[in-house]
Structure formats: C-alpha cells, structure tokens
Amino acid sequence: MNRLFKRNILLLMLAGVLFGGLIVDASTTPETQFMARVEQQLGQIKTLQVDFEQQRTLKLLKNKAIFTGKIFMEAPGKLAWHVYKPIRYSCIINGDIMTQWDADSNEVTTINAKKIGALQLVIRQLQYWFAGNFTALNSDFESKVMINTQQIEFIPKASTPPARFIKKIIVTLKKDLSYIKKIVIYEEGGDTMTMLFAKTIINKPLPDNVWKIKGI
C-alpha cells in the first residue's frame, strides 16, 4: 500500500513539473487571458491548507484505492503532505530537504535533493506549482484551455520524460480561479489518478505541528 501511494506522489510531482513549466503567451487571446488570471490568483498564495482525496484506479482491478489527508504550503519553499487514511504517511519538503515517514515501518527518511538532481528539480517545480509560479520554461507539454469548463488539459510531447508515464492531465479550477479543485492524471497503460481538493484555506497562519513528521 505504501509503495502504491508513494508512486502516486511521484506522479503528482510530475504534474507539479508541468505547472512549473507552463508558458503564458504574451498575446491577448481569451485563452491566454484566462491563464494570466490563473497565474495572478495562484501567485497571491502565501500559505495554503487543503483537504485532499486521492483516488487510484488500476486498469486490472475493479476497486479504487482511496487515500485522504491534508496538504499545507508556505512560501517560499515549504510543503507538507500528510496522509491519514487508510495508511499514515507524511512527506515534508523544506527547501531542498525532503523528509518522509510512514506508520508501517515507523522509519524517518531524509533526502538532500541537492545530491539528486532530478529530485531537486521535481521539488522545486512542485513548489512552483502550489505557489502559482508559472515563469519557469518547460517545453515538455502542450496545453489546451477550456474556458467554459474552467479546465486546462496538458499532454506530454513525444520523447519527453513525462511521456513515459503520463498520457494527459486535466486540471479543473474553482469558479473564482482561486485554486485547483480537481486533477486527473491519465497514465500510459490505462491507470488513472484523481485528486479532489476541498476546504481550501488561503493565507491564514498554519499550525506549527504541520511541519512535524510524526504525531500529527
């Protein structure tokens, strides 16, 4: 179960790479104006706390694996991911340092991303995503804006690293564009991962214990 969830986190981090690499064109089409509004809204976020439900659907299995918990973000560079059910798992990112803990092993693992170039890139891009920083350039994805449904579809370009794992990602924004309501990742091979976000609280002080790896 833990391996499954940790793989899911890596997939969502790939989504973070995607958002960090979003290029906002200087033209004034309705689509680019929409993206500019999204960037402006998310760029105002300094702290964030949100409940999430992650649904993992495997092509070969009928049942869904469902995980629930909370995500916390504090700019610049701090992110906490706490899973409460059906397992207990925590991932804390502070700058280039990532610390993980799970209840099954009761072991704490700390990784310095500076020693792993790919992980450092993923962490930074994930932080960009939650902070709404879309200025980093990335040519790995094509994007399509669907204004009527307030959705953005991202498709990896052929021969890019994300194309090995991801077929497409569809992001649904809240009506006021203040934050993301839903992310669906369609994987190569037919599996899907859906992230639902609720009870979003923006720019309010965060409890100190959210940065603790155990005893949440």
Quote the CA–CA distance of 169 and 141 in Å, as a whole number.
Answer: 10
The residues spanned by each domain of the chain are 2-211
Q: Global pTM?
A: 0.77
pLDDT digits (tens, 9 = 90+) for 134-183: 444 356 677 788 889 988 888 888 887 778 888 888 888 888 887 888 88
What is the secondary structure of 1-36 as a DSSP string? -HHHHHHHHHHHHHHHHHHHT----SS--HHHHHHH
pLDDT digits (tens, 9 = 90+) for 172-215: 888 888 788 888 889 888 888 898 999 989 899 998 889 988 64
DSSP E strands, 77-179:
78-85, 89-94, 97-102, 107-112, 141-146, 151-156, 166-173
φ, ψ for residue 8, nearest 5 deg: -65, -40
pLDDT digits (tens, 9 = 90+) for 8-67: 554 454 444 444 444 445 567 887 788 778 777 777 778 889 999 989 888 777 778 899
pLDDT bracket for residue 132 (50, 70, 90)? low
Kindly state which CATH superfamily the domain 2-211 is placed in.
Answer: Lipoprotein localisation LolA/LolB/LppX (2.50.20.10)
Structure confidence at residue 117 (pLDDT):
57
